[in-house]
Amino acid sequence: MTSAKASDQTYRVAVIGAGRPRSQTGATGFGMSHAHAKGYTATGRCRLVAVADVVADNATAFAHVHGDAETVTFTDYHEMLASARPEVVSICTWPHLHAEMVIACAQAGVRAIHCEKPMAPTWGEARRMAEACATSGTQLTFNHQRRFEAPYRTARGLVRAGAIGDLVQVELACSNLFDWGTHWFDMLFFYVGETPASWVIAQTDTQTLTSAFAVDMENQGIALVGFESGVRGFMTTGDTVPDGAPRADNSQPRREALGAMQRLVGTAGVIEVGVRGTYNAKVRILNGDAPGWQEPPLAGADHFEDAIGAGVADLIACLDNGHEPELSVHKAIRGTELIFASYESSRTHSRITLPLTGVEGNPLHEIIASR
């Protein structure tokens, strides 16, 4: 009898947090689980053996779409871990549940955990998840799937090819430093070549609050990040329309109103990414190679579900070959550190030297509580 090669192995997959049936998903309640499941199915190497959701109907509907006759549903994820013994688990619940679920999976002997972003509402929980998986030898990834999306990969490819000379500054705009910010802070490392950050200085406005997935966030914020390489990362959030007028009511901009959501400034040119509004290009570059702005062909996943699928395919491949996944916890936690270092900078009115120490909770929530 010959043993199966690692690449022939079929992995037993479970999902925690099924989301509502796809037809009912919306504003919050994205049902991210469905995209994860499609990714596992697409590998041809995975079988959905179990689904856990406190809402039994969600689990049943999910199993019906993505599972088979033997897929078992649970309302208690602890029972699921003990009974179904999955090798791979996707955690698609809201952020306040991520830490307890990741740690329980690691302690139950799960080999790979793929958890939705943001890592957790507090810095302590984020660190404990990483530590638990380091202790158990579990491969832990977070779904910062934008690393696989075509506009960002194209822009990074241009930077790597020297199309704008040496990278000097990365400017990012989004709605907040936490829920969306986790993607953009992660992407800072993606653009600068995964080199370490040294310090953060930031400010937040909490006169009014926004909230996503039950976590309160600033109404508006800025963060400047210094990298060891000398590159600067500059993030603006909230009413931060790069090529538009600030709104008098200080409210969140509609996404369509954003100008360039990312601008990469080099010694010999500029790249803009995620450009909306007055011109219809996702990426454009201005350098000395051609007159005016040029729009390069895009390479990478062109839909967010495809990008999530690419992340899932990568984490399954890494289970076989032992390589670090593109969405590894080692990468995710550096971006997460920038979130909480930004909030700590705002709380203490000072520049924060990394690594971030002396912080366990969420400094922004301390600011809010002290008002």
Ligand X SMILES: NC(=O)c1ccc[n+]([C@@H]2O[C@H](COP(=O)([O-])OP(=O)(O)OC[C@H]3O[C@@H](n4cnc5c(N)ncnc54)[C@H](O)[C@@H]3O)[C@@H](O)[C@H]2O)c1
- Interface residues with ligand X (CB under 6 A) are 16-20, 25, 28-32, 52-55, 58, 77, 92-95, 97, 116-117, 143, 145, 179, 213
CB of 58 to ligand X, least distance (A): 4
Q: How far is the CB of 19 from ligand X (least distance, A)?
A: 3
Q: Which is nearer to ligand X, 77 or 185 (CB)?
A: 77
Rounded Cα–Cα distance for residues 68 and 224 (Å): 49
CA-wise closest residue to 331 among 183, 181, 150, 137: 183
CB 172 within 8 A of CB 184: yes
Residues linked to residue 284 through DSSP beta bridges, in sequence order: 272
Query: Judged by CB, which is closer to ligand X: 176, or 240?
Result: 176
Q: How far is the CB of 221 from ligand X (least distance, A)?
A: 18
Nearer to ligand X, 116 or 337 (CB): 116
Q: Classify the C-alpha dihedral 96-97-98-102 as positive or negative.
A: positive
Closer CB to ligand X, residue 249 or residue 256?
Answer: 256
Which residues, 6 or more positions from 210, have their beta carbon under 8 angstroms from its beta carbon?
175, 176, 216, 217, 218, 219, 238, 252
> For residue 96, what are the CA distances in angstroms to 51, 66, 355?
19, 26, 23
- The one-letter amino acid at 36: H
Instruction: Using the CB atoms, write b or e for 61-70: b if 16+ within 10 Å.
Output: bbbeebbeee
Distance CA 334, CA 266 (A): 23
Minimum distance from residue 287 beta carbon to ligand X (Å): 31
- In this structure, the number of other CB atoms found within 10 A of the CB of residue 42 comes to 16
* Residue 55: CB minimum distance to ligand X, A: 4
Report which of 50, 62, 75, 48 is spatially closest to residue 19, judged by C-alpha positions: 62
CB of 59 within 8 A of CB of 52? yes
**Residue with Cβ nearer ligand X (77 or 227):** 77
Rounded-to-integer distance, Cα 127 and Cα 357, Å: 11
Count of Cβ atoms closer than 10 Å to residue 253 Cβ: 17
For the CB of residue 334, give the shortest distance to ligand X in the complex, in Å: 17
Minimum CB distance to ligand X smaller for 92 or for 281:
92
Cβ at position 69, least distance to ligand X in Å: 22
Q: Please identify, using beta-carbon distances, which residue of 180 and 227 lies nearer to ligand X.
A: 180
- Of 184 and 227, the one with the shorter C-beta distance to ligand X is 184
| Cα-based angle 100, 106, 111 (whole degrees, multiple of 5) | 140
CB of 62 to ligand X, least distance (A): 8
* First vs last C-alpha separation in the chain: 69
